[in-house]
Amino acid sequence: MTGLAVFLALWEVLARSGLLKAGVLPPVSEVLGQFFLLLGNPDFLAGAASTLLSWVLTILFATVIAIPLGILLGSIRPLRLATGPLIEFLRPLPTVALIPLATLVLGSGAQTKIALATFAASWPILFNTMYALGEIDRQLLDTARSFRTPLPRLVYGVILPSIAPFVLTGIRLSAAVGLIVLVSTEFLTGTSVGVGQFVFHWGSSSLRMDIVLAGTVFTGLVGYLVNIALLGAQRRWLGWSAAGGAV
């Protein structure tokens, strides 16, 4: 918090001294003032609700898709080797470059930004799940198999609890990626309601950088709070003791 306060104070001083152009980077006091005004703006609240709902759906879809797929690929080595080149080809594709294709296929509604954000957010969960399977204690699996534990119970009783901390880390990373892609898609397409479209309108038509930055502050604050909540849940329920055991 001290570092953040120093950064904001420096921003304010540089803007007030004229070293920064007020039309490009207004003082932080003006940005924060606009931030609180946006909380009472019906247009912004509607856009924020659309972005946040799309964000929740994105993380839900990415989790439902990536965790089972990661368990499958992490468990079956031939399948992982066979699909590895395809995955390594798709993973680094810039999501924003797929916007024209997604718009042609899916239209210009919310489904486009959710699909693109899900595509981008699935990778951290997928890879964390795959590599977490390699970290499972072999004795746990051998013990469960020696008791002829059915496969569903082996998955839910041994595998999932063992990989849960890694998977939640992937979800935390995916939450940030998904939010970035959602807002970027809204901004670049200009057709889907959301925070991105709101700041695009005020930035392109009115050059109100204070409103643009206020919308950016809102997005960053939401992402920060969600990350803190997920991190707290991970430490509370999926942390590790000093001896290496789950607590």
pLDDT digits (tens, 9 = 90+) for 16-46: 887 777 677 888 888 999 999 999 999 899 9
Residue 165 is assigned to a structural domain of this protein: yes
Residue 3 is assigned to a structural domain of this protein: no
pLDDT digits (tens, 9 = 90+) for 189-226: 866 688 999 988 888 877 788 889 999 999 999 999 99
Name the pTM for this structure.
0.86
Output the pLDDT for position 243.
Answer: 43
Residue 21 is assigned to a structural domain of this protein: no
| Total tally of structural domains belonging to the chain | 1
Quote the CA–CA distance of 98 and 241 in Å, as a whole number. Answer: 43
Domain CATH number, residue 53: 1.10.3720.10
Structural domain of residue 44, as residue ranges?
A: 32-236
Residue 60 is assigned to a structural domain of this protein: yes
Residue 216 is assigned to a structural domain of this protein: yes
Averaged pLDDT for residues 108-126: 92
Residue 204 is assigned to a structural domain of this protein: yes
Output the pLDDT for position 239.
Answer: 62
Averaged pLDDT for residues 45-62: 94
Quote the CA–CA distance of 90 and 134 in Å, as a whole number. Answer: 23
pLDDT digits (tens, 9 = 90+) for 124-157: 999 999 989 888 888 888 888 888 888 788 888 8
